[in-house]
Amino acid sequence: MSGIIRSSDGLDERRRRILFRARHRGMREMDLILGGFADAEIAALSDAELADFEELLEPEDQKVFSWVSGTEAIPPEFDTELFRKICAFHFSGRGLPG
């Protein structure tokens, strides 16, 4: 992912792992959406939000992208406050590279 703004220095292992996985999804759009959010917010996420993020990293990129883009309904188990934060962050344009 280009435009990475956050180093993993100073993060605990769980946050470093989530940050890496969010940046290296395999689908460029998801690298930008999840990686951009993680770059900006990973240090401030609560344990519950980290658990939700870890769950969100499990489905295939295309599925998550369809939920973010609104082309497919979000399954209830992924319709969390964190998912809404990620979408709001993405649509605000704050996660876009330079």
Q: Which residues contact 35 (CB under 8 A, 6 or more apart)?
A: 1, 4, 19, 22, 23, 24, 25, 95
Residue 34, both tokens: 């999840």
- Model pTM? 0.86
Query: What residue segments make up the domains of the chain, in order of their start?
Result: 13-92
Judge whether residue 97 has pLDDT over 80: no
Region 44-65: what's the mean pLDDT?
A: 97
* Predicted local distance difference test score (pLDDT) of residue 10: 77
CATH architecture assignment, domain 13-92 = Orthogonal Bundle (1.10)
Region 59-75: what's the mean pLDDT?
A: 96
Selected residue with higher pLDDT from 98 and 55: 55
